[in-house]
A and B are shown apart, each in its own frame.
Chain A
């Protein structure tokens, strides 16, 4: 009986220790590690958008499903796929509901999504929709995007 009680207490204590700081570490440590990455991936972008949508971050497949449900993306892709400016732009345009581009409305192409983001000051005009993004650039774009959505608050 004593051994069972002791085991329960030990297990309970370990559970508390695990959960105590885990939630707060995930987000900040994710951002810090991303800042050092030379090339961001689709998985990194999905994590950001899930957190921005005030959902909790889970696995890549669950994040992907959430974003499909939110209509920020249309289809599945690989987690470690290199993130391009065009791909990121297409998600941003939907997230911010940017409506200024006729060509984007007609074609839905990443090219016009990128130009739309550039004209809204979220990305630089020089470059193309195929350009890769570093981790720190992704953080910068997400930060600008959040300012855009929240009105700079």
Chain B
């Protein structure tokens, strides 16, 4: 009797623990793509299941689409990533990816009542997805660049600087900089930098300019109700 109870309990605990590690599935592979769990690189194939700690590397024309916790990640050519964490429990989903080089595009599946954490880390910064879709790239020359396609992200760099980036904006942090680039650094006149969605109309720009800096902080994002002022905090997080 006691042995039976102990066996059932053990099996139950095992199922409970194993269910917290969510599935990682390869949806499609094009060109030369390899994965590594351990010491040896092996060809990646469509339909494979991968585990935490796996590295994926693509060749010159290699591409792969990987599904993790319901999120979809597209890995572009000449990219190397590591799947650090992919856990899912009731009410919480946590995914952490390390991007060694190249670029990936992540589309996040946000579910109600589920706290979703999706982080992509490079040697210089980490982006935490708050919204829906982003493209993250890293190289030793250009540093880290995050294109927010939809929704918003929070970027943290080594120096303790954080930035919220949203509305089709970009976050850039070079390998030699101590501060992340201005969100609108391409504009010649920094005093006219709009904060928040750069795709505002002329009347809105004039309104912001007329109301001065106080007005900028007072413009709220209708979707979130949060002010569109950007904040800068930087922490760098490279998992290795």
Which residues of chain A have a CB within 8 Å of any CB of chain B?
21, 24-25, 27-29, 31-32, 35, 48, 51-52, 123-124, 134, 136-137, 139-144, 146
Contact = CB atoms under 8 A, between A and B. Distances in A.
Interface string B48-88: 00000000011110100000000000000110100000000
A21 B141 contact: no
A14 B41 CA distance: 20
Closest 6 CB pairs of A and B: A140-B139, A27-B59, A28-B34, A143-B78, A27-B32, A24-B43
12 contacts: A24-B34, A25-B41, A28-B62, A31-B59, A32-B80, A134-B140, A136-B101, A136-B140, A139-B78, A143-B103, A143-B139, A146-B60
A29 B42 CA distance: 10
A139 B62 contact: no
B191 to A, nearest CB: 25
Interface in B32-52: 32-34, 41-43
A52 B162 CA distance: 38
A28 B140 contact: no
A29 B32 CA distance: 10
B140 A27 contact: no
Given A28-B32, A144-B139, 18 more contacts: A21-B43, A24-B32, A24-B59, A25-B41, A27-B32, A27-B59, A28-B34, A32-B57, A51-B59, A51-B60, A134-B140, A136-B101, A136-B139, A137-B139, A137-B140, A139-B139, A142-B60, A143-B78
Interface string B131-170: 0000000011110000000000000000000000000000
Contacts of A28: 32-34, 41, 57-59, 62
B139 A25 contact: no
Given A137-B141, A140-B139, A27 B60 contact: yes
Contacts of B180: none
A143 B102 contact: yes
Given A137-B140, A140-B139, A142-B60, A21 B42 contact: yes
Interface string B100-136: 1111000000000000000000000000000000000
Contacts of B32: 24, 27-28
Contacts of A141: 141
B80 A35 contact: yes
Contacts of A31: 57, 59-60, 78
Contacts of B43: 21, 24-25
A132 to B, nearest CB: 13
A139 B34 contact: no
Contacts of B62: 27-28
A52 B33 CA distance: 16
A136 B59 CA distance: 14
